[in-house]
Amino acid sequence: MAQAPHSAATREPGLSYRSAGVASSEEMRSFGRAIDLFRSTHAFARRGQPLEFPGVAEPYAAVLDLGGNLGLAIATDGVGTKLLVAEALGKYDTVGIDCVAMNANDILCVGAEPVAMVDYVAVKSTDGDQLLELAKGLVEGARQAGISIPGGETAQVAEMLAGGAEAFDLVGTCVGMVPLDAVITGERVKPGDAIIGYASTGIHSNGLTLARRVFERESWGPNRYVPEFGHTLGEELLAATAIYVDLALALRAAFDVHAFAHITSDGFLNLARLPATVGIRIEELPPEPAVFALIRELGGIPDEELYRVFNMGAGFCAVVPEAEAERALAIGAEHGIECWRLGSVTAEHRGEVRIDAGNVRLRSAGKRFEPLG
Amino acid sequence: MAQAPHSAATREPGLSYRSAGVASSEEMRSFGRAIDLFRSTHAFARRGQPLEFPGVAEPYAAVLDLGGNLGLAIATDGVGTKLLVAEALGKYDTVGIDCVAMNANDILCVGAEPVAMVDYVAVKSTDGDQLLELAKGLVEGARQAGISIPGGETAQVAEMLAGGAEAFDLVGTCVGMVPLDAVITGERVKPGDAIIGYASTGIHSNGLTLARRVFERESWGPNRYVPEFGHTLGEELLAATAIYVDLALALRAAFDVHAFAHITSDGFLNLARLPATVGIRIEELPPEPAVFALIRELGGIPDEELYRVFNMGAGFCAVVPEAEAERALAIGAEHGIECWRLGSVTAEHRGEVRIDAGNVRLRSAGKRFEPLG
């Protein structure tokens, strides 16, 4: 999963299931030991103690107790291999939006209001306009998220970057404010709650490695015009990630939102980032965007993989009291964001995400989906 | 310079002066336009407005006004090409200390107490023990700095990283707390103040690109035993960066520190990160550590370059009232850190750093040193 507290974003899935089993559980063992080590640092802090999220393995952001009911949310994430699409197109003025989106949307999920982000850019060279173009995207993202970008770091580390002269990396760290008694821990989620899905604006910033492989295997270059998109493949893959700050703040202002889920890497498995005391049942899916339909068709990618890797049309979800479901849909519409009632929280199948919608029948098993028997 | 607010760390200096002039000023123009763009985001924030640092081009960290006299300092930095030394040696359990040091030491410079850091690790593969070893260093750094590491991101982005199977990048973002009325803006620095230098623990985390080139040109491998060091070249270059948190907090508790300077990339030019209303005069230098003496000798590197790129023995400086100079030295000794009175703040040569100590005679001119005529 894509975000803090410590999580590993597997941005390099194979074209089919990973030969997961053994390797994956070994990875997880080593990663689990690292997590335990990091947890030991909570005792080191003189101030700003991190909150615990009981029953949640991977909250979207950490929350520090700054005293006086003030919580500081903090989350860090990069844009990943979407940057390779930007490099291929030589177009750098939108990935900054993705960088803000990946971070600010995570901050929302603990109930916080994003206030600022700092960026880290690794480049081969500071010549030319690349840094200025990157700044334009970051600033547009900041505008959409209602945050400042008060600092950042540009590191010239040519030897560390693979690719051409404009190879680069782009990472953000976002902070947000939240009253401690308003932190979303997921503990208020209960059976019968409705799950509302809000439309993504394309592939967002995950699954790009798999997507690129599928299209490259078919020799589809970034400049190929794709009728299904109405524009080129590169334009489609580079479409900026939606920033859901205004939507989420409006929902929170209107009623008691029980949880948010930012659908990033690990796709619909992100809905399992709730206390393990409930289950998630998805009975309706968003209309499948053309980009995912093409990836399915060209790559022969099964649903198990599609719903684990991509947002499949819903970039952000809210878990709301059943009585507020209609209002949650209306607020989405007011913000010009298509939205759907996707399903419900259940008392059965605790800790699982089950999708049973038309031809898509899946159940989560740890970090993957398997066919629903 | 190495840190937030937006600054470009030029980690790739040539073996001699860069053919600086034109290219550099063009870079700076593009970078300056980016800075202006980022500054425009200050108006976007609904809350947590960034503080201004009048007359300081590049404060070490941003400070957000969280209300109620509470300031949040935030800074981000990576470890840079020191990671290539770790990769060459296959030794990953100390660069996490460097990552904490680079960030926590910057947070100190605005008068804040570091409270937490999140990390971003980019790797080619999550197999093996590399991530666990990196975690060990981060945790040791957190222990030394008295902070938590409550979250982080591990991105598997093999296509983006140059080098072998264990190529990686490591970046941190640190936050700290500071009462708004205790923020160090440099405005209290005045002529007559003493400048105290505190010992580095080696090359720290900057200048590694230049250092590696010098030694590689001489075909010195990382496993070469170097009598001057009493250990191998690799061990010397990988020595962990000092974390000055306990020292700085003790100094602040004892008296009114006027400014701190973290001597990172851009070396002694960091002393110019003060309001441009004063000058800096260095009359004594730390004993030159063997690693810098060797770089000077083997590479034929002039003082202008050495004092611009390296810490030259002093990793952290404090600007203190003259009457507190002895106490500042005593507190260093109490913390087991060698320290020296390096010089004074002057009313002349405003905005300049002048070094006039023995054979070293330099004056700063923007982003470089030139011989003191």
Q: Which of A41, A53, A83 is nearest to B119 (CA)?
A: A41
Asked if residue A209 lies in contact with residue A13, where contact means CB atoms within 8 angstroms, the answer is: yes
Asked if residue B38 has pLDDT above 70, the reply is yes
- Which residues in chain A have their CB less than 8 angstroms from residue B178's CB? none
Stretch B27-47: mean pLDDT: 88
Instruction: Kindly identify which residue of chain B lies nearest to residue A142, measuring between CA atoms.
Output: B41
pLDDT band at B265 (very low <50, low <70, confident <90, very high): confident
How much is the mean pLDDT over chain A?
Answer: 92
What's the residue count for chain B? 373
Please determine, for the modelled complex, whether the ipTM score is greater than 0.95: no
Instruction: Kindly identify which residue of chain B lies nearest to residue A80, measuring between CA atoms.
Output: B157
For Cα atoms A157, A61, A150, give the angle at the middle one, nearest 5 degrees. 50
For chain A, give the secondary structure using H, E and C.
CCCCCCEEECCCCCCCCCCHHHHHHHHHHHHHHHHHHHHHHHHCCCCCEECCCCCCCCCCCEEEECCCCEEEEEEEEECCCHHHHHHHHCCCCCHHHHHHHHHHHHHHCCCCEEEEEEEEEEECCCCCCHHHHHHHHHHHHHHHHCCEEEEEEEEECHHHECCCCCCEEEEEEEEEEEEHHHCCCCCCCCCCCEEEEEECCCCCCCCHHHHHHHHHHCCCCCCCEECCCCEEHHHHHHCCCCCCHHHHHHHHHHCCCCEEEECCCCHHHHHHCCCCCCEEEECCCCCCCHHHHHHHHHHCCCHHHHHHHCCCCEEEEEEECHHHHHHHHHHHHHCCCCEEEEEEEECCCCCCEEEEECCEEEEEECCEEEECC
In our burial notation (b when 16+ CB lie closer than 10 A, e otherwise), range B333-350 reads eeeebebbbbbbbbeeee
Asked if residue A292 lies in contact with residue A310, where contact means CB atoms within 8 angstroms, the answer is: yes
Stretch A140-160: mean pLDDT: 97
- Which residues in chain A have their CB less than 8 angstroms from residue B38's CB? 135, 138-139, 149-150, 152
pLDDT digits (tens, 9 = 90+) for A45-90: 999 999 999 888 889 999 999 999 999 999 999 999 999 999 999 9
Burial of B187 per CB tally in 10 Å (0-12, 13-18, 19+): middle
Helix (DSSP H) and strand (DSSP E) numbers for chain B: 10, 17
Q: How far apart are CA B309 and CA A236, in angstroms?
A: 43
pLDDT digits (tens, 9 = 90+) for B242-262: 999 999 999 999 999 999 999
Nearest to B78 among A41, A126, A155 (CB): A155
pLDDT digits (tens, 9 = 90+) for A259-303: 999 999 899 999 998 888 999 999 999 999 999 999 999 999 999
Q: Tell me the two tokens of residue B269.
A: 């030019």
Give Dmax over CA atoms of chain A in angstroms: 58
Per-residue CA distances from B127 to A23, A199, B130, B157, B340 (Å): 8, 35, 8, 13, 46
Q: How far apart are CA B252 and CA B248, in angstroms?
A: 6
Q: How far apart are CA A353 and CA A281, in angstroms?
A: 6
Provide the Cα torsion B125, B128, B130, B135; round to 10°.
110
Q: Tell me the two tokens of residue A340.
A: 């759907």
Q: Do B163 and A158 touch (CB under 8 A)?
A: no
Burial of B313 per CB tally in 10 Å (0-12, 13-18, 19+): buried
Amino acid in position A227: P
Does residue B57 belong to the interface with chain A, where contact is any CB pair within 8 Å?
A: no
> What is the set of domains in chain A, with CATH numbers?
46-182 (3.30.1330.10), 194-371 (3.90.650.10)
Q: Which of B146, B103, B47, B182 is nearest to A48 (CA)?
A: B146
Spatial neighbors of B26 by CB under 8 A, at least 6 apart, are: A127
The confidence score (pLDDT) of residue A19 equals 28
Q: Tell me the two tokens of residue B193.
A: 């103040």
The confidence score (pLDDT) of residue A149 equals 98
Amino acid in position B333: A
Full-model pTM? 0.94
Spatial neighbors of A336 by CB under 8 A, at least 6 apart, are: none
Stretch A98-111: mean pLDDT: 98
pLDDT digits (tens, 9 = 90+) for A269-278: 999 988 889 9
Asked if residue B206 lies in contact with residue B268, where contact means CB atoms within 8 angstroms, the answer is: no
pLDDT band at B27 (very low <50, low <70, confident <90, very high): low
Q: Tell me the two tokens of residue A152.
A: 């950042």
The confidence score (pLDDT) of residue B253 equals 98
Q: Do A151 and B12 touch (CB under 8 A)?
A: no
Asked if residue B201 has pLDDT above 90, the reply is yes
Q: Tell me the two tokens of residue A351.
A: 């800790």
Q: Do A153 and B76 touch (CB under 8 A)?
A: yes
Amino acid in position A32: G
Which of B69, B123, B157 is the mutation pick for testing A, counting most A CBs within 10 A? B157
DSSP 8-state code for residue B17: -
Q: How far apart are CA B356 and CA B283, in angstroms?
A: 5
Amino acid in position B246: D
Categorise residue B343: left if φ over 0, alpha if ψ from -120 to 50, beta otherwise.
Answer: left
Nearest to A12 among B9, B148, B156 (CB): B156
Q: Which residue has the tokens 């001699």?
A: B16
DSSP 8-state code for residue B112: P
Asked if residue B247 lies in contact with residue B331, where contact means CB atoms within 8 angstroms, the answer is: yes
Does residue A164 belong to the interface with chain B, where contact is any CB pair within 8 Å?
A: no
pLDDT digits (tens, 9 = 90+) for B95-116: 999 999 999 999 999 999 999 9
Amino acid in position B38: F
Q: Tell me the two tokens of residue A170.
A: 């782009």
- Least-confidence region, from A125-129, B283-287, B321-325: A125-129
Nearest to B62 among A26, A132, A151 (CB): A151
Between these two residues, B184 and A22, which has the higher pLDDT value?
A: B184
Q: How many CB atoms lie within 10 A of CB A75?
A: 36
Chain B neighbours among A 172-191 (CB < 8 Å)? 173, 175, 177
Q: Do A132 and B30 touch (CB under 8 A)?
A: yes
Does residue A283 belong to the interface with chain B, where contact is any CB pair within 8 Å?
A: no
Q: Which of A152, A174, A135, A121 is nearest to B60 (CA)?
A: A152
Q: Which of A96, A172, A85, A89 is nearest to A131 (CA)?
A: A96
Q: How far apart are CA A353 and CA A77, in angstroms?
A: 24
Q: Tell me the two tokens of residue A334.
A: 């007011």
Amino acid in position A353: V
CA atoms within a 13 Å half-sphere pointing along the CA-CB vector of B199 = 14
